[in-house]
């Protein structure tokens, strides 16, 4: 039986030891987020804040704080969802075994949204934005944000819930020059369905009606981040996963989720933008202030005893990591069936998801050829970069493994497999002046940067070094050297000044290292950084700085590089410049004073509820 509300879910979590209540008054300015981050890092339970300073409403976070807890929440429906998705990918299976799959048909009935009778009262009060828990997460944030919103919009040409879009796009509630209670900021990125809806409204010169739902059954939140095909309603998935039909009605022309705890309705007018941000985001940096659509608030509704659901994002892993893990758990082979030849793909969370994608494909084009080299892999790579949000990948590593022993989720083993085989003179493929993730500031502008595909296949051509060669320890301009994993050297050099100055740095390295090709043979990859101690401390540190601080077209260099008929390559080690650049967004840093203040919760009980 699916949860009827957010509170029913939280009570179930509490009953089974997955939730604790925080009864002390907590400030929504930095404190609530800091508590959440500390509890999440300790692999702690979901949190219910019962006394939010300045608001009468309770707030809940860390609901999806682990894959285990997420699977527990959907324990009654997860198998049926997997089978339904599998049947969609393989409908012949349903015809072969109709009785085995009859339960899936019954589960699918829950996917049909249910419109409530117009006369049925849904919400108990109309409130203002200022009545909500206005949570500011990071010190440099532009104000308070909704971080678990379900943003609903409809297609003007095909109105109705079955063609609607439900997405999770952050909403700025206060700060900047927004007029409190009358205006909020609507931030959405590339490849989001709401953009199609807004374009149609702009072409008709009419405002787009938008509803923002907060809370409700947890399946609604997951549906908002589910990468469904364009034109497929997320509300159907919410019903299927929640085991309960998505209930809704209309008021003043706006769709109202009957089970949500809060609903903010408003209109987005053509060509009306306001500065939104900064916001501490899931790459571990602030996304900076930029013009984004302005939503003029119509009305705000709250259920009786409503609970404000929120999360905190920052340098991964964070709670949103569990969303990705659960989506992978549910979709199974769906992507493999969509992209012929693809066996496995992994958006690496430690790199902020979109900056780094690892893939395993097939290589079947020329089995008769004596030399093994990427062929089908390049076709698969192009398909990946043309598929939904996978197209936001900045670094795509792809290989084939004839033994089927390699897996993308073992990042260190996967990268070593690539480095043992890759030929930098042949296997590098750039896309320049293209779109990248909105939150990635390594590029040349908002949404703008470059991509690179590293495709490796064939026999091992080198062994990977594990000790720093003595002849590399006396390189001029190097302030530190370390090995984060076999085959990779990280070099600490002076801070980035400009790309003109970088040319001199690379030229100096090239001059010194060109004569040391024997030593470099075991180290095909060199990464330049600001602090080798930090970069080599953990694999996650290395992954984070390397792939979030590099724009491939500008920051990839090579020893003994060449350009041949517009193909760039290098005959010795590849160099990735992962230093912080002058145009990068600042990294997220916890506020020391806030950390001291929340110590009171731990000091009071010896530990915060067993954490």
Map 167-234 to HEC letters. ECCCEECCCCCCCCCCEEEECCCCCCHHHHHHHHHHHCCCCEEEEEEECCCHHHHHHHHCCCCCCCCH
Mean pLDDT of 544-553: 97
Q: What is the pLDDT of residue 426?
A: 97
Lowest mean pLDDT across 193-197, 285-289, 355-359: 193-197
* pLDDT for the residue numbered 587: 95
Q: What is the pLDDT of residue 447?
A: 84
Structure tokens given for 89:
């990918």
**Average pLDDT, integer, range 165-172:** 92
Cβ contact 401:439 at 8 Å? no
Q: What's the CA gap between 557 and 110, in Å, rounded?
A: 54
Given a contact cutoff of 8 angstroms between Cβ atoms, the answer to whether 268 and 198 are in contact is yes
- The larger pLDDT score, comparing residue 358 to residue 435, is at 358
DSSP 304-354: TT-EEE-----SSSSHHHHHHHHHHHHHTTHHHHHSTTEEEEEE-GGGTST
Cα-to-chain-centroid distance, residue 185: 20
| Token pair recorded at residue 82 | 């997997």
Residues 242-259 pLDDT 10s = 999 999 999 999 999 999
Residue 304 pLDDT more than 50?
yes
> With 60 as the cut, is the pLDDT of residue 1 above it?
no
Burial call 586-596: b when 16+ CB within 10 Å, e when fewer: ebbeebeebee
Model confidence at 87, in pLDDT bands (50, 70, 90)? Answer: low
> If one looks up domain 470-577 in CATH, what number appears?
3.40.1670
Residue 232: the pLDDT is 65
Tokens describing residue 467: 């000790």
**In the numeric block, which tokens belong to residue 495?**
């801070």
Residues 6+ apart with CB under 8 A from 65: 39, 40, 43, 44, 45, 46, 319, 322
Gap between the Cα atoms of 251 and 274, Å rounded: 27
With 0-12 / 13-18 / 19 or more C-beta atoms within 10 angstroms meaning exposed / middle / buried, residue 409 is exposed
Task: Give the C-alpha distances (Å, rounded to integers) separating 597 from 133, 342, 603.
Answer: 19, 50, 10
pLDDT band at 93 (very low <50, low <70, confident <90, very high): very low
- CATH 2.30.110.10 residue spans of the chain: 6-73+110-309
Q: 125 Cβ partners below 8 Å, 6+ apart?
A: 301, 302, 304
What is the per-residue pLDDT for 99? 40
Q: For 80-84, 87-91, 109-113, 367-371, which range has the lowest pLDDT when averaged over its residues? A: 87-91
Provide the mean pLDDT of the chain. 90
Rounded to an integer, the average pLDDT of 463-483 is 91
Q: Domain 327-456 in CATH: superfamily?
A: UbiD C-terminal domain-like (3.40.1670.10)
pLDDT at 338: 80
Q: Which two tokens stand for residue 399?
A: 């290989």
Q: What is the mean pLDDT of residues 12-28?
A: 96
Of 50-54, 373-377, 389-393, 556-560, the range with the lowest mean pLDDT is 389-393
CA neighbor of 220 nearest in space, from 200, 240, 201, 249: 240
| 3-class DSSP assignment, residue 63 | coil
Taking the C-alpha atoms of residue 259 and residue 265, their distance in angstroms, rounded to an integer, is: 15
The rounded distance, in Å, linking the Cα atoms of 186 and 200 is: 17
Give me the pLDDT at residue 95, please: 36
Parts of the chain belonging to CATH 3.40.1670.10: 327-456
Do 426 and 382 touch, CB atoms closer than 8 A? no
CB distance 489 to 466 below 8 Å:
no
pLDDT of residue 563: 96
- Helix, strand or coil, per DSSP, at residue 599: helix
Residue owning tokens 């981050």: 37
Q: Looking at the predicted structure, is the pLDDT value of residue 538 above 90?
A: yes
From the candidate CATH numbers 1.10.260.40, 2.30.110.10, 3.40.50.300, 3.40.50.510, the one assigned to the domain spanning 6-73+110-309: 2.30.110.10
Query: What are the residues facing 181 on neighbouring strands?
Result: none
Element (DSSP H or E) covering residue 569: strand 567-570
Question: pTM of the predicted model, to two decimals?
Answer: 0.91
- Quick check: 509 pLDDT over 60? yes
In this prediction, residue 86 carries a pLDDT of 66
For residues 194 and 78, what is the distance between their CA atoms, to the nearest angstrom? Answer: 27
Q: Which of 537, 277, 576, 327 is nearest to 450 (CA)?
A: 576
Does residue 358 have a pLDDT over 60? Answer: yes
Whether the predicted pLDDT of 230 surpasses 60: no
- Show the tokens assigned to 147: 């971080």
């Amino acid at each position: 039986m699916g949860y009827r509300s957010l509170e029913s879910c939280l009570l179930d979590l509490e009953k089974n030891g997955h939730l604790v209540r925080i009864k002390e008054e907590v400030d929504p300015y930095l404190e609530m987020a800091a508590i959440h981050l500390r509890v999440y890092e300790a692999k702690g339970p979901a949190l219910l804040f019962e006394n939010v300073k300045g608001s009468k409403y309770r707030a809940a976070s860390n609901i999806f704080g682990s894959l285990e807890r997420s699977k527990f929440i959907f324990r009654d429906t997860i198998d049926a969802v997997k089978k339904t998705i599998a049947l969609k990918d393989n409908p012949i299976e349903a015809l072969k075994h109709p009785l085995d799959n009859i339960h899936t048909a019954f589960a699918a009935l829950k996917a049909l949204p249910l419109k409530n009778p117009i006369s049925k009262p849904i919400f108990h009060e109309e409130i203002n934005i200022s009545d909500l828990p206005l949570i500011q997460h990071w010190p440099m944030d532009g104000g308070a944000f909704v971080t678990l919103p379900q943003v609903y919009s409809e297609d003007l040409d095909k109105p109705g819930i079955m063609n609607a879009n439900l997405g999770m796009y952050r909403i700025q509630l206060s700060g900047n020059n927004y007029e409190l209670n009358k205006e909020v900021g609507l931030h959405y990125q590339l490849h989001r369905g709401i953009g199609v809806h807004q374009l149609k409204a702009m072409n008709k010169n009419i405002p787009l009606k938008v509803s923002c739902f907060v809370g409700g059954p947890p399946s609604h939140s997951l549906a908002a981040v589910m990468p469904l095909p364009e034109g497929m309603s997320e509300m159907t998935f919410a019903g299927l996963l929640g085991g309960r039909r998505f209930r809704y009605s209309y008021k003043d022309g706006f769709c109202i989720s009957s089970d949500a705890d809060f609903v903010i309705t408003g209109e987005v007018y053509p060509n009306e933008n306001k500065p939104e941000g900064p916001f501490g985001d899931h790459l571990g940096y602030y996304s900076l202030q930029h013009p984004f659509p302005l939503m003029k608030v119509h009305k705000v509704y709250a259920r009786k005893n409503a609970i404000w659901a929120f999360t905190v994002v920052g340098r991964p892993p964070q709670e949103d990591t569990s969303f990705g893990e659960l989506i992978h758990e549910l979709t199974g082979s769906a992507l493999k069936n969509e992209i012929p030849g693809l066996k496995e793909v992994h958006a690496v969370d430690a790199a902020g998801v979109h900056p780094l994608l690892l893939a395993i494909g097939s290589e079947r084009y020329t089995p008769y050829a004596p030399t093994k080299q990427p062929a089908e892999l390049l076709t698969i790579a192009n398909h990946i970069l043309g598929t939904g949000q996978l197209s936001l990948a900045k670094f795509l590593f792809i290989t084939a493994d004839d033994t089927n022993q390699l897996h993308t989720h073992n990042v260190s083993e996967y990268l070593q497999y690539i480095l043992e085989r890759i030929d930098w003179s042949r296997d590098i493929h750039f896309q320049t002046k293209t779109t990248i993730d909105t939150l990635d500031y390594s590029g040349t502008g908002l949404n703008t940067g470059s991509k690179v595909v590293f495709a490796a296949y064939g026999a091992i051509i080198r062994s990977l070094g594990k000790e720093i060669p003595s002849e590399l320890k006396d390189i001029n301009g190097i302030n530190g050297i370390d090995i984060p994993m076999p085959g990779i050297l990280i070099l600490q050099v002076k801070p980035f000044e400009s790309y003109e100055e970088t040319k001199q740095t690379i030229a100096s390295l090239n001059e010194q290292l060109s004569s040391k090709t024997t030593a470099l043979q075991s180290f095909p990859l060199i990464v330049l950084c600001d602090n080798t101690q930090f970069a080599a401390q953990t694999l996650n540190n290395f992954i984070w700085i390397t792939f979030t601080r590099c724009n491939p077209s500008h920051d990839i260099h090579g020893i003994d590089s060449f350009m041949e008929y517009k193909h760039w390559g290098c005959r010795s080690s590849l160099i990735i410049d992962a230093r912080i650049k002058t145009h990068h967004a600042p990294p997220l840093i916890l506020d020391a004073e806030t950390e001291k203040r929340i110590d009171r919760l731990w000091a009071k009980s010896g530990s915060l509820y067993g954490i």
